[in-house]
Amino acid sequence: MSPLVADWLENENLTHLQLDTKWQDMRLLLDVMTKNIQITLNNVHAVAEQSKFYQTKQVDTVIEEFWAAQQ
């Protein structure tokens, strides 16, 4: 995750609001990775969207496991 944060700070000219939004997105993914929040039917689509955008394979795996458990 560190390279993503470095990229935001070094390579993009972000406003404070844009940086806050990206941080919230990343925080969601970090919470999933560290199991601070669980994937549920209520949040799986939002998590999947952010994971796809930021290409977080670890979160993709958690989402796949969630869907497999639903069957």
Give the DSSP per-residue string, the chain.
Answer: -HHHHHHHHHH----HHHHHHHHHHHHHHHHHHTTSS---TTTHHHHHHHHHHHT-HHHHHHHHHHHHHH-
At 9 the pLDDT is: 64
pTM over the 0.75 mark? no
Question: What phi and psi, each to the nearest 5 degrees, are found at residue 46?
Answer: -65, -40
Mean pLDDT of the chain: 86
Least confident of 1-5, 23-27, 54-58: 1-5
Tokens 């549920």 map to which residue? 40
pLDDT of residue 70: 94
Residue 14, both tokens: 């972000």
Question: How high is the pLDDT of residue 49?
Answer: 94
